[in-house]
Amino acid sequence: MALDALDKSILHELQVDGRMSNADLAEKVGLSQSACLRRVRALEDHGVIEQYAALVSQGAAGLLQNVFVQITLKSQESHDLEVFEAKVQEHPQVMECYLMTGASDYMIRVIVADAADYEKLHRQFLTCLPGVDRVVSSFALRTVRKKTEVPL
């Protein structure tokens, strides 16, 4: 789906405030309510808008620490990657997981309450993942920038 200026404007507004009413959105982008709703539905149907979500404060959940974990597997066979990836998706504290190029196979972001919580996660989950050869962890000292809006 090719995005025109109106689609990009709609997407920007929804990324800033996903709870905005269709009437408010239509007014902000200069469309009638029915035309605006048609465009939003088309963006959803074409997978441009993947989902709507509430962003919950990590602090409110008691999980203040971000830890970035580089994992190297013993084997990069397709089956081994699939088994590893399926297992990673099961743990609620794994927020992101990326298959990487370079020195490690995966980069994972986990959220934990503190160092003791991470030690437990490391011992009981990360090192027990199928095929793990090496785990290298880095605690984030503070968040400098965290965006949710994709530039268009």
User: Are 71 and 119 contained in the same domain?
Assistant: yes
User: Are 18 and 77 contained in the same domain?
Assistant: no
Give dist(CA 38, CA 121) in Å, integer.
46
pLDDT in tens, 9-37: 999 999 999 999 999 999 999 999 999 99
pLDDT in tens, 84-113: 999 999 999 999 999 999 999 999 999 999
Say how many domains are in the chain. 2
Give dist(CA 94, CA 24) in Å, integer.
36
User: Are 41 and 70 contained in the same domain?
Assistant: no
Domain that holds residue 16: 5-45
Q: Pick the closest to residue 133 from 75, 84, 86, 91 (CA basis).
A: 75
Whichever domain contains 81, its CATH number is: 3.30.70.920
Whichever domain contains 13, its CATH number is: 1.10.10.10
pTM: 0.88
User: Are 73 and 116 contained in the same domain?
Assistant: yes
